[in-house]
């Protein structure tokens, strides 16, 4: 058995979220992730029949999303001018504000036996930004959600 081991702080093997728009070549690597939740929630159609004492159910389409919390970095949040890299230029805030369709890839980290791990990819929209700061958390922190349109792809 090989467990997925994101190895926080170990370069090259840790969990990595990358956002791209259109023909971006490298995309925007989302820095300072605190946690990530990958959601695949199938809807269920339910009905009753006169010949049964129990309800019948069948799985239908799924609602997919990727969410987490990030410590805000000025360049990645607001963007920096780059040639041909839309995601880096707009930044996370611009991608959300402009309702840009992003292609994301989530590298889940290497396996505990040293083998490379899997990447989950898809397309969606950046939503759910709500930056906060407080005396107990003196850096800006924000939730982030990518509401997925369509299916996930695993590679």
Task: Output the pLDDT for position 30.
Answer: 94
Overall average pLDDT of the 10-28 stretch: 88
pLDDT, one tens digit per residue, over 84-130 is 899 999 999 999 999 999 999 999 988 877 778 899 999 999 999 99
Q: How far is residue 68's CA from residue 2's CA, in Å, rounded to a whole number?
A: 24
Give the pLDDT band of residue 141 (cuts 50, 70, 90).
very high
Domains located in the chain, CATH noted = 16-154 (2.40.30)
Task: Output the pLDDT for position 14.
Answer: 84
Per the CB < 8 A criterion, the answer to whether 34 and 128 are in contact is: no
β partners of residue 57? 46
Task: For the chain, list the strands marked E by DSSP.
Answer: 16-20, 28-29, 33-47, 56-71, 101-107, 119-127, 141-154
**Among 96, 154, 148, which residue's Cα sits nearest to residue 124?**
148
């Amino acid at each position: 058995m090989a467990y997925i081991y994101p190895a926080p702080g170990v370069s090259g093997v840790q969990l990595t979220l990358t956002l791209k728009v259109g023909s971006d070549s490298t995309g925007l690597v989302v820095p300072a992730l605190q946690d990530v939740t990958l959601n695949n929630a199938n809807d269920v159609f339910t009905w009753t029949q006169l010949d049964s004492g129990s309800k019948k159910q069948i799985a239908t389409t799924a609602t997919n999303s990727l969410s987490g919390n990030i410590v805000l970095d000025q360049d990645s949040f607001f963007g920096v001018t780059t040639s041909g890299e839309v995601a880096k230029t707009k930044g996370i805030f611009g991608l959300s504000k402009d309702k840009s369709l992003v292609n994301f890839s989530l590298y889940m980290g290497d396996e505990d036996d040293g083998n490379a791990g899997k990447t989950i990819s898809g397309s969606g929209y950046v939503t759910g930004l709500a930056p906060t700061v407080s005396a107990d958390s003196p850096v800006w922190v924000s939730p982030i959600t990518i509401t997925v349109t369509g299916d996930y792809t695993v590679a």
